[in-house]
Amino acid sequence: MPTRRSLLAASLAAGFAAFVATPAMAQTKLPVVATMSILGDFVKNVGGDRVEVATLVGPNGDAHVYTPTPADAKKVAAAKVVFVNGLGLEGWMTRLIKASGTKAPTVTATDGVKSRKMEEEGRQITDPHAWQDVSNAKIYVADIRDGLIAADPAGKSTYEANATAYLAKLDELQKEVKAAIGKIPADRRRIITTHDAFGYFGAAYGMEFISPEGVSTETEASAKDVAKIISQIKKQKIPAVFMENISDPRMMQQIAKESGAKIGGTLFSDALSDEKGPAPTYIDMMHNNIRQFSAALMS
């Protein structure tokens, strides 16, 4: 028969074991901020249980044109690292960082990406949508890993292991995207989207994207832009127009109706869907988009 004292000692020991077996407890998680949902997904994959990610522009949100809230300033103030896309995507971020008073380092996840420039009304504009090329997503992941290690050196082995596992998934995704686009006949790989979000995708995988809006959603397409696209669709026999999760679908519906092009479904360009949607993660988003391209362009 165990004595009362030995039972107490045993239960204390069990309690202590349970305590030390839970290394990443809620209050010890590293609070970090990601400006938009795609970046937030990358940070979650690399940070795992050690980090608490607050995403500012949520599912289906437009990071080009965003008005930060006082709650966002609090999240930035509490963060130990702030992850941004850069390349001119989050024009509102500099002011928010300043207003929050944060001293946390800002990590630009596109550092090391070879950026694309596009000509818009005679000006050279940097295209911020680098994540649309999976090989760039791998650079984001490496930058995020290094940023987390710098802020939380005790987690180095965890961040390295998580990044390596996720990079292997991205290698797999890269093969899938190349294979899917490779099956679409070359002369069918030309489509219309609302804004120029797929330049990196087009350059990496061999597809042409034409848009009535530019690389930002800030300026709406004019009637002249829309008319130009409609005549281009007819002249070049462009097979399909696609809607985007962050943009009003009506302009694309009008273009499809007036040009006779097929509506090719909804692409996820600048943001993920919510949990119930078809693109709650970056990998799901890329799978969704290649599925939409194949469905519309192979038939």
Residues that bind Zn ion (CB under 5 A): 197, 270
Please tell me the distance from the alpha carbon of residue 126 to that of residue 116, in angstroms, as a whole number: 6
CB of 267 to Zn ion, least distance (A): 11
- Kind of pairing between the strands at 123-127 and 106-108: unpaired
Triad 162, 168, 171: Cα angle to 5° = 140
Tokens read off for 261: 């092009």
CB of 53 to Zn ion, least distance (A): 21
Q: How far is the CB of 172 from Zn ion (least distance, A)?
A: 26
Task: Name the amino acid, one letter, at 13.
Answer: A
CB of 290 to Zn ion, least distance (A): 19
- Residues whose CB is less than 8 angstroms from the CB of residue 253 and which lie 6 or more positions away in sequence, other chains included: 243, 263
CB 221 within 8 A of CB 37: no
Min. distance of Cβ 247 from Zn ion in angstroms?
Answer: 9
Strand duo 208-210 + 240-244: pairing: unpaired
